[in-house]
Amino acid sequence: MNKPYTIRYLSSAQKDLIAIFEYISKDNPTAAISHLERFDKAISQLPLNPLLGVIPNDKRLKKLGYRMLIVGKYLVFYVVKGQTVQIRRIIHGARRYNFLL
């Protein structure tokens, strides 16, 4: 059996999660917790299946090795480096994201 990959959240992704949680919890704390659980459930699949996410259409992101998980209305951008999955950004899917990464 292959050794599971390690998940590493970059500080930008950690800040994204905090911002998402704070924004949603202003109106609905229960929904904010639910969103965090959905992110956790999706991302927790990556150690055993790091290529689970789709390759973005953006040529630059594709060239840089980005993949993305779609979690509800949010996109989790990550890169596989060696045996580590780097979670780089988590943003709302309606945002233009190429300048963020």
Residue 75 lies in a domain: yes
Quick one: tokens of 18?
């905090």
Q: Domain of 85?
A: 6-92
DSSP string, 5-39: PEEEE-HHHHHHHHHHHHHHHHH-HHHHHHHHHHH
CATH of the domain at 16: 3.30.2310.20
pTM of the model: 0.90
Q: Are strands 84-92 and 74-81 parallel, antiparallel or unpaired?
A: antiparallel
Structural domain includes residue 60: yes
Q: Is residue 1 part of a domain?
A: no
59 in a structural domain: yes
Confirm whether 63 is domain-assigned: yes
Query: Looking at the 3D structure of the chain, how many domains does it have?
Result: 1
* Residues β-bridged to residue 76: 69, 90
85: confidence class by pLDDT, cuts 50, 70, 90: very high
Cα–Cα distances in Å, from 1 out to 4, 48, 56, 83?
A: 9, 10, 29, 14
Beta strand 66-71 pairing with 84-92: unpaired
pLDDT in tens, 11-68: 999 999 999 999 999 999 999 999 999 999 999 999 999 999 999 988 999 999 999 9
**100 within a domain of the structure (yes/no):** no
Q: Which H helix or E strand runs over 40?
A: helix 29-43
